[in-house]
């Protein structure tokens, strides 16, 4: 019987890679890197053997998709921000078996789902950037899940519940990461450089802090009630579908756990970011 042993909402901003690789930006994202290290240690302690990463940079338009290749390997450069993120080499084993179980569970709920093993299907940086740091020394398998930009919060709640059922039917210890921001309003181009460490707009920043307060207090029902509006009004990354999947897997309004902040809230290029784990 499988176990969900680690669950988290994580950041994947490219400035983390800049902080790691470009001398000029050394130290820019120390708090995020420290959070990654804490997540790495948590994964080691929990004996994680598979990371499921809900990747809001792998955006699809129809159905639900998983990258269930037996192996992911390559050298990544971001087509979106090539000056920030390049030369990221990766080589991870996949988990086709768990991918097939998830597809079966999603289809059982009446949704379209596909697990892909096409050799040319790459991996996006919403998975690769955190895995570079968190999976180092863990050497766990990696199963990326796409974000459907036209799906509803409720569909993703159901998808998350299906993921949890599949984990329970699998073998091993699984970590589930929702890789995406809180608010996600990028700065207009002329302000993008000066706004590298800032959140775009007082409304977005204050709403993010309100959400984090709800999480700290364990007021899950209030948060989930506001999630659809939050995703729209604060320009949630790919509609915050990763967050809906995560909470679906945790039990939605039946969840009674608590959070641990691995990286405190910070602004990056207009967006609001954290690394936070949810007790399981």
pLDDT given for residue 1 in this prediction: 87
pLDDT digits (tens, 9 = 90+) for 199-221: 999 999 999 999 999 999 999 99
**Structural domain spans, the chain:** 3-278
Question: Could you tell me the two tokens for 243?
Answer: 């967050």
End-to-end CA distance of the chain: 16
119-140 average pLDDT score: 98
Asked whether 171 and 98 are in contact (CB, 8 A), the reply is no
Alpha-carbon torsion (200, 183, 208, 277), positive or negative: negative
Round to whole Å and give the CA distance between 32 and 19.
10
Asked whether 88 and 129 are in contact (CB, 8 A), the reply is yes
Round to whole Å and give the CA distance between 269 and 271.
6
Residue 121 has pLDDT above 90, yes or no: yes
**Taking CA 86 as the corner, what is the angle to CA 80 and CA 89, rounded to the nearest 5 degrees?**
125
Round to whole Å and give the CA distance between 118 and 179.
23
Asked whether 142 and 135 are in contact (CB, 8 A), the reply is yes
Q: Tokens 């120390």 identify what position? A: 30
Interhelix angle 153-169/220-233, rounded to 10 degrees, is: 130
Q: Count Cβ atoms below 10 Å from residue 59 Cβ, excluding itself.
A: 17
275-278, long-range: CB < 8 A, 24+ apart: 275/8, 275/9, 275/10, 275/11, 275/32, 275/35, 275/36, 275/38, 275/39, 276/8, 276/9, 276/10, 276/215, 277/6, 277/7, 277/8, 277/39, 277/42, 278/7, 278/8, 278/9, 278/246, 278/250
Asked whether 227 and 155 are in contact (CB, 8 A), the reply is no
pLDDT digits (tens, 9 = 90+) for 78-88: 999 999 999 99
Asked whether 32 and 266 are in contact (CB, 8 A), the reply is yes
Confidence of residue 168 (pLDDT cuts 50, 70, 90): very high
Alpha-carbon torsion (246, 252, 257, 261), positive or negative: positive
Return the half-sphere exposure (C-beta side, CA atoms, 13 A cut-off) of residue 123.
33
Instruction: Return the CATH number of 3-278, one of 3.40.190.290, 1.10.3720.10, 3.40.830.10, 2.40.160.20.
Output: 3.40.830.10
Strands 3-10 and 271-278, bridge-based pairing: antiparallel
Residue 93 has pLDDT above 90, yes or no: yes
44-65 average pLDDT score: 98
Asked whether 197 and 187 are in contact (CB, 8 A), the reply is no
């Amino acid at each position: 019987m499988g176990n969900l042993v680690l669950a988290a909402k994580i950041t994947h901003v490219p400035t983390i890679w800049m902080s790691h690789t470009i001398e000029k930006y050394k130290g820019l994202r120390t708090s995020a890197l420290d959070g990654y290290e804490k997540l790495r240690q948590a994964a080691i302690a929990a004996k994680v053997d598979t990371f499921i990463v809900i990747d809001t940079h792998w955006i699809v338009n129809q159905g639900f998709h998983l990258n269930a290749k037996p192996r992911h390997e390559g050298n990544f450069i971001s087509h979106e921000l090539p000056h920030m993120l390049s030369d990221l080499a990766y080589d991870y084993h996949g988990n086709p078996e768990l991918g097939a179980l998830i597809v079966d569970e999603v289809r059982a709920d009446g949704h379209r789902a596909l697990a892909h093993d096409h050799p040319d299907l790459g991996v996006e940086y919403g998975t690769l950037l955190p895995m570079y740091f968190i999976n180092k020394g863990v050497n766990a398998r990696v199963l990326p899940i796409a974000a459907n930009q036209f799906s509803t919060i409720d569909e993703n709640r159901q998808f998350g519940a299906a993921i949890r059922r599949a984990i329970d039917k699998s073998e091993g210890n699984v970590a589930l990461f929702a890789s995406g921001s809180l608010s996600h309003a990028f700065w207009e181009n002329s302000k993008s450089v000066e706004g590298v460490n800032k959140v775009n707009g007082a409304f977005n920043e204050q709403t993010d802090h309100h959400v984090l307060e709800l999480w700290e207090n364990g007021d899950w029902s209030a948060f989930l009630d506001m999630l659809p509006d939050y995703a729209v009004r604060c320009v949630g990354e790919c509609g915050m579908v990763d967050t809906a999947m995560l909470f679906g897997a945790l039990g939605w309004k039946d969840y009674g756990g608590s959070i641990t902040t691995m990286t405190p809230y910070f602004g990056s290029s207009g967006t609001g970011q954290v690394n936070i784990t949810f007790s399981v």
